Amino acid sequence: MLIQAYANEELWSPEKLQLPERSRLYHLLPVAIGTPFVESLTSYIARLAESHSVLPSVLISKEITPYLKKVFAKRLSSRRLRALFDRARALNGTGDIAMDFVQALETLTLRSDLCFLTLLNCASILPPRGLFRAYKAWCPACYQKWRLSRQVVYEPLLWAIEAVKVCPQHHQPLCLYCPYCHKQSLLLEWHSCSGYCSVCGKWLGKLGTSCDFLERGTLSPEELTRQNWTANTIGELITVVPRLSSPLPRGNVAEAMRTVVNLVTKGNIAAFASRLGIPKNTLWMWHTGKALPQLDVLLKICYCLEISLLDFLVPEKVANQPLKISIQKSPEQSHNKRISPKCFNSDRVEEVLLATLAISKQPPPTMKEVAQQLGYDRRTISRHFPELCRAISTRSQSYRKALRLTEVEQSCQEVQQIALELLNRGVQPSEARVSELMSKPGYLRYQAVRAALQEAQCRARL
């Protein structure tokens, strides 16, 4: 085959080739941008560090810090880095720290979309107080799904928002405590790695572990509906806000308040406040735009009015809604119902408390259940009958403690039985194999059960 020789001018063109600008750090693509599951900035920093094979602490102190504008973070000593990790939630937030980190990271990666990994676009409508949680929350099912399908393991911005308590995909409460070391992890740490506990380093996507949300209890169907709605409505806001031509203005909140008060109670602020269980003066401050309600309050209002957070914050949309306060969802009708002390039927309450203590029902009712049955606030009853309330609580706690001890004991026996069966089949009783066969794998968080497993494993090695 004849090869055509290049002409001299083709090889040595006088025109300089224009190379595109190079970024100092990788041009790493954020996950799920423009969706409810968009990655958080703290997760992005951890992944960026991982992609350069350095720890987040090294990436921040050596690479990001020189590009920060604020003096607070210049020349980060390890003590100041610790202080930054302690308030890492601010990196995903609405203030100066988030803005500073976004600008520094955009300069370093040559990306222009990193502000969408924060709530910066909601800065004028959401006050920072109570907006983010200080520690990580996660859905083990999501982690596991991403790992098994070889997708990027990351932390969505949604999980960092305090008001979000369940995973909207798996409809289960988010976890707050590592199932192995029972510690909480800060959003960003010296050696953070998405999907792993930053204290003990174990994988957090283990299925079947209990999600210790709030009072370690399972959510009632009504509460689960409410929590799913909350996660979805915040997800919708996160999805839509980046697509808006400009951030939602602060005035929208006051305008929405005025519109709903007009529609629901014909402009009567006191009546609206009373129906939602909000102090009248506070509502007046929001109504006049002198203050902004926190996200959890906005959610409460929207849930009672059966409108989405986004519809509430867009004045044209809220004005066209047929609004009424949902009686079932109104806090006035909830179990927190406030009853005037004048209506407190002391004789009847005492009678019920004494009867509760006299009956040996299994399981003995908790004070919360007794209060619900009576229709009074637990604290009110406790003020009138402190001794009786304490006796009921102590009995219920002792019962639950004894029950837990029995279950732990049963779990120990089960673990040993499973380990023996595995050994008989010639299989090593690893923690993963044993937990798969356990009826309550979450019990491996108890020291006694772990000790039983370790003992069985030691016997297997002999």
Distance CA 384, CA 350 (A): 9
Stretch binding Zn ion (CB under 5 A), from 169-177, 357-365, 403-411, 443-451 = 169-177
Any idea what DSSP says for residue 63? Answer: I
Q: Which is nearer to Zn ion, 200 or 451 (CB)?
A: 200
Q: Which residue has the tokens 């709605």?
A: 229
User: Which residue in 169, 262, 321, 372 binds Zn ion (CB under 5 A)?
Assistant: 169
Distance CA 414, CA 160 (A): 37
Q: Which is nearer to Zn ion, 167 or 453 (CB)?
A: 167
Minimum distance, C-beta of residue 176 to Zn ion, in the bound complex (Å): 12
Minimum distance, C-beta of residue 13 to Zn ion, in the bound complex (Å): 55
323 to 97, 158, 260, 332: CA distances (angstroms): 39, 28, 7, 17
Stretch binding Zn ion (CB under 5 A), from 116-124, 172-180, 365-373, 453-461 = 172-180
319 to 243, 266, 305: CA distances (angstroms): 22, 13, 13
Considering only residues 10 to 29 of the shown chain, the ones binding Zn ion according to CB under 5 A are: none
Longest dimension (CA), the chain: 110
Q: Does 158 bind Zn ion (CB under 5 A)?
A: no
Minimum distance, C-beta of residue 144 to Zn ion, in the bound complex (Å): 9
Distance CA 311, CA 243 (A): 15
Minimum distance, C-beta of residue 442 to Zn ion, in the bound complex (Å): 14
Minimum distance, C-beta of residue 203 to Zn ion, in the bound complex (Å): 10
Q: Does 170 bind Zn ion (CB under 5 A)?
A: yes
Q: Which is nearer to Zn ion, 211 or 349 (CB)?
A: 211
Stretch binding Zn ion (CB under 5 A), from 174-182, 256-264, 319-327, 352-360 = 174-182
Stretch binding Zn ion (CB under 5 A), from 83-91, 166-174, 405-413, 416-424 = 166-174
Minimum distance, C-beta of residue 138 to Zn ion, in the bound complex (Å): 8
User: Which residue in 141, 285, 297, 437 binds Zn ion (CB under 5 A)?
Assistant: 141
101-140 mask for Zn ion (x: CB under 5 A)?
Answer: --------------------------------------x-
CB 85 within 8 A of CB 188: yes
Q: Does 143 bind Zn ion (CB under 5 A)?
A: no
Q: Which is nearer to Zn ion, 199 or 263 (CB)?
A: 199
Q: What is the CA radius of gyration of the chain?
A: 28
Q: Which is nearer to Zn ion, 108 or 139 (CB)?
A: 139
Q: Which is nearer to Zn ion, 134 or 200 (CB)?
A: 200
Select from 122, 107, 96, 82 the least CA-distant residue to 21.
107
Q: Which is nearer to Zn ion, 32 or 199 (CB)?
A: 199
Contacts of 140 (CB under 8 A, 6+ apart): 175, 204, 205, 206, 207, 209, 211
Q: Which is nearer to Zn ion, 105 or 197 (CB)?
A: 197
Q: Which is nearer to Zn ion, 140 or 429 (CB)?
A: 140
Q: Does 175 bind Zn ion (CB under 5 A)?
A: no
Considering only residues 176 to 205 of the shown chain, the ones binding Zn ion according to CB under 5 A are: 178, 180-181, 197, 199-200
Both structure tokens of 352: 């019920």
Distance CA 165, CA 143 (A): 16
Q: Which is nearer to Zn ion, 169 or 274 (CB)?
A: 169
DSSP string, 85-127: HHTGGGGGSSSHHHHHHHHHHHHHH--S-GGGGTTGGGTTTS-
Distance CA 174, CA 138 (A): 5
Helix (H) or strand (E) holding 172: strand 172-173
User: Which residue in 97, 108, 167, 253 binds Zn ion (CB under 5 A)?
Assistant: 167
Q: Which is nearer to Zn ion, 145 or 250 (CB)?
A: 145
Distance CA 413, CA 407 (A): 10
- Phi and psi at 138, nearest 5°, equal -150, 160
Contacts of 408 (CB under 8 A, 6+ apart): 443, 446, 448, 449
Task: Give the interface with Zn ion as residue ranges (CB under 5 A).
Answer: 139, 141-142, 167, 169-170, 178, 180-181, 197, 199-200
